[in-house]
């Protein structure tokens, strides 16, 4: 078996069935816009987007987000009804979860 078939470092990006290539080899970073447009991550493109949105680079914070089945379904649901599906289906959901008050843990009492 070749190394390529054993690798899990492929990302499906091109959904056009007539396209010759459907995968990106290796670890690559991509930028996903609010309308779910995927483009290769380039520093100049990021700065351009920030300038368009009038956001200072110093206000940007990196956040790691894991997208599982529940989050993916939420994004798909919002994509059917919204032009801001990434924000509505994922970002607001993540922010709400992180801002929600955490329940206090009571100490375990042993007698």
Please, which pLDDT band fits residue 5 given cuts at 50, 70 and 90?
A: very low
pLDDT for 1 equals 35
**Each residue's pLDDT tens digit, 35-76:** 888 778 888 888 888 898 898 988 888 777 777 888 888 888
pLDDT for 16 equals 60
Tokens of 66: 């894991």
User: What's the count of helices (H) and strands (E) in the chain, helices before strands?
Assistant: 5, 4
Q: How far is CA 99 from the centre of its chain?
A: 19
């Amino acid at each position: 078996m070749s190394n390529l078939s054993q690798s899990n470092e492929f990302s499906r990006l091109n959904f056009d069935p007539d396209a010759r290539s459907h995968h990106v080899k290796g670890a690559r970073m991509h930028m996903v816009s609010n309308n779910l447009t995927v483009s290769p991550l380039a520093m100049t493109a990021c700065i351009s987007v920030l300038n368009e949105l009038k956001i200072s680079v110093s206000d940007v914070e990196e956040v790691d987000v894991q997208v599982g089945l529940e989050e993916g379904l939420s994004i798909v649901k919002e994509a059917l009804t919204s032009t801001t599906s990434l924000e509505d289906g994922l970002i607001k959901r993540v922010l709400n979860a992180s801002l929600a008050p955490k329940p206090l843990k009571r100490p375990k009492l042993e007698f």
